[in-house]
Chains A and B, each alone.
Chain A
């Protein structure tokens, strides 16, 4: 059995928990280790015919009062940087987090998720910015935890990236 650790990172309330919930559909989902600031979920998926056990670490969002604890990302094989498309500042948070992550665990596959794509009217982040990031070599996806758009794809893509690297 192949096991991999994946971290969900991003500002507070961007939809990390919702994305995991949508992907896992698990009844464990309410087991948030609140004091510790992590919620762990698990899902087995099949990548190129190979069973992979994904351990999903949903890490309490970064806000003014609490920083993301970098020790939680130790040993992660991949991570998501989640951005709330309707809040411009969350993109900055995500990019800052990426720098801190790379300082800590180096170059590990990650995907930048622009979540809440169902609220496209309220978006504060233009397509140009997203295209630019994509041109800069980042893997960028649009998701909606609400409608499920792109969620499965995001996890499969990251799993694929992790198994390649």
Chain B
């Protein structure tokens, strides 16, 4: 700084000296070039000033870069590390900025590139495989002939590498299913429950592993099946896939979800539980299901190689012992006949049999059959692809795994209708009727031939109660002391039946009917019979039963249980009997006619006119306590009455 300053001062000083020295010349020069001199001085100043003027630089910089770039790569080289650093710094500060800028530009391009690549790949493969190998076509035809299956089905099974069985469109926030599609072949679970569970699992994973709101689980594996999940900010698309979905499957899901998200954005945002607006998405989802049957992707070279091996096998054929060959052939025949097993290829390679084919998980174990055929299990290698056999026994077993029937139930498929037969609890029958609606592959479910065990039990107990009688001495209204056990038994039965009918949500009522023998006046007989009924009524109520359950009535000698010829008959008729009334429309069990229409109307009558004194009927209201009755009895009644 100081140098510069002094330098400038000394410069000026030497000029002044020069002006002073050559004054006349200077005068002349001023005259000649005076106007130019000041401009010249300016230029000289400018040249002397080494610092750049930003204003100036900004004017020429773009042009300078352009000129230089056209000449060589120096600028690029120079910018490279700076740009890198800058991007790094920006991402570190706020990654969203860069992502926001790049995603709209890049995503469609990336997607388009990948999609077309995949499409091309698939097309090439299908073309090669569909037309290139008529050998396989012939083989399948033979197999169709042997297994008596339609050719189309065999072909389909061979090409079935995977199947998208079910798709759920789920509202992200609530986890509720907006739409659901399912293939005919799959046994579907309740979509609402599956969806809610999936959502819960997602939430759990997110919470437990500390992932962010947008980090999501993409694939869950469940045995043969996997669940693929794609998410947008509003919706989740989940697919249940059997087998191995190809690598491009997620992008198909993604596209479908993107399209739905775009079309349904308003509905998704304002969703309040009503799924009706999402009806139109069904087509898109179904498209996803249908388009996922693909030709088996197999490298043609492998196939040609395989053909070569077949030739080799033929060549070495003669080396196999006839016995082994026969056993092996019998074994294969046996496998062919086995439901749920389809053999597509067999080969022998370095002393070992290789069996390729399809096998339902429910089918018999080929290794076990091997032992029966006296072939060493170690000499055979099985390569099974899993498939779902449409054999009725397998369909039934798959359904069984959903309906979980008790051992007493058997199923039969008739014309697409699933018939259940046997015995089961009421709960199971009701649940199965509900669940069966969600099972694809059957047209309906019939439980007509199922005996409802709970109902049956009710009938058995009803019958037992109705066969119970309590006997009385003449005129007495006290239960004979030797019938104490019968009272306990009755209490137990009434308890059981009132518990059981709760399952059906139907009230049970028990009519307590007092009887007398035919001796005495009708009026007194009615009175005594009513008191006898009331006695049982009081006993039952004292055991804690609700009085509403019982209808106590006396019929005197009007409904004798026996024709009175002897004293023994009269003794028998001095009793109390019961009638069980269940208000039920369920008449599944064969004996449910027990509760006949007459009984019902009888009960109705009793209810509608509780004060019907002529019949001695009163509803759930005994006239007096048992002790009083006893006293009255002794004092008021002539000895030959009752």
**Chain A residues engaging chain B, CB cutoff 8 angstroms:** 1-5, 25-28, 33, 35-38, 40-42, 52-53, 55, 57, 69, 71-72, 74-77
Contacts and interface: CB of A to CB of B under 8 A. Distances in A.
B358 interface: no
5 contacts: A33-B201, A38-B200, A55-B175, A75-B172, A77-B272
A27 B431 contact: yes
Given A3-B174, A33-B197, 16 more contacts: A2-B273, A3-B275, A5-B175, A36-B204, A38-B204, A40-B196, A42-B193, A52-B273, A55-B175, A69-B204, A71-B203, A71-B206, A74-B203, A75-B172, A75-B173, A77-B174
B335 to A, nearest CB: 37
B207 A69 contact: yes
Contact of A36 (B172, B192, B201, B272): B201
Contacts of B16: none
A57 B176 CA distance: 12
Interface in B169-213: 171-177, 190, 192-193, 196-197, 200-201, 203-204, 206-207
Interface string B159-177: 0000000000001111111
A26 B190 CA distance: 13
Contact of B273 (A4, A41, A69): A4
Closest 8 CB pairs of A and B: A75-B174, A75-B173, A71-B203, A36-B204, A38-B200, A40-B196, A3-B176, A2-B273
Contacts of A69: 203-204, 207
Contact of B196 (A1, A2, A37, A57): A57
A6 to B, nearest CB: 11
Interface in B260-277: 272-276
A77 B174 CA distance: 8
A74 B199 CA distance: 10
Contact of B200 (A2, A41, A72): A72
B427 interface: yes
Interface string B205-244: 0110000000000000000000000000000000000000
Nearest to B404: A27
A40 B204 contact: no
B192 A53 contact: yes
A142 to B, nearest CB: 21
Contacts of A26: 431
Interface in B387-409: 404
A82 B623 CA distance: 46
Nearest to B425: A27
A77 B171 CA distance: 13
A4 B171 CA distance: 11
A55 B173 contact: no
A63 to B, nearest CB: 17
Contacts of B200: 33, 36, 38, 40, 57, 72
Interface of B: 171-177, 190, 192-193, 196-197, 200-201, 203-204, 206-207, 272-276, 404, 427-428, 431
A33 B203 CA distance: 13
Contacts of B190: 28, 42
A22 to B, nearest CB: 12
Contacts of A35: 204
A77 B273 contact: yes
Contacts of B172: 75
Contact of B176 (A5, A27, A28, A38): A5
A72 B208 CA distance: 13
Contacts of A4: 176, 273
B276 A1 contact: yes
Nearest to A35: B204
Contacts of A41: 193
Contacts of B171: 75
A27 B427 contact: yes
A76 B275 contact: no
A1 B174 contact: no
A63 B431 CA distance: 34
A37 B197 CA distance: 11
A3 B197 contact: no
Contact of B207 (A3, A25, A71): A71
A41 B190 CA distance: 11
A126 to B, nearest CB: 29
A3 B431 contact: no
Given A5-B175, A33-B197, A55 B207 contact: no
B4 to A, nearest CB: 68
A2 B192 contact: no
A128 B172 CA distance: 42
B203 to A, nearest CB: 4
B175 A75 contact: yes
Contact of A3 (B173, B177, B204, B404): B177
B34 to A, nearest CB: 86
Nearest to A55: B196
B229 to A, nearest CB: 16
A69 B177 CA distance: 22
A149 to B, nearest CB: 14
Contacts of B175: 5, 55, 74-75
B427 A40 contact: no
A53 B174 CA distance: 13
Contact of A74 (B173, B192, B204, B428): B173
Nearest to A56: B196
A42 B192 contact: yes
Interface centre among A3, A53, A77 (most CB of B within 10 A): A3
A25 B430 CA distance: 11
Nearest to A2: B273
Contacts of A71: 203, 206-207
A37 B174 contact: no
A74 B276 CA distance: 22
A28 B431 CA distance: 10
Contacts of B204: 35-38, 69
Contacts of A38: 197, 200, 204
A31 B176 CA distance: 18
B288 to A, nearest CB: 22
Contact of A55 (B176, B404, B428, B431): B176
Contact of A5 (B174, B193, B428): B174
A40 B431 CA distance: 17
A3 B273 contact: yes
A4 B173 CA distance: 12
Nearest to B196: A40
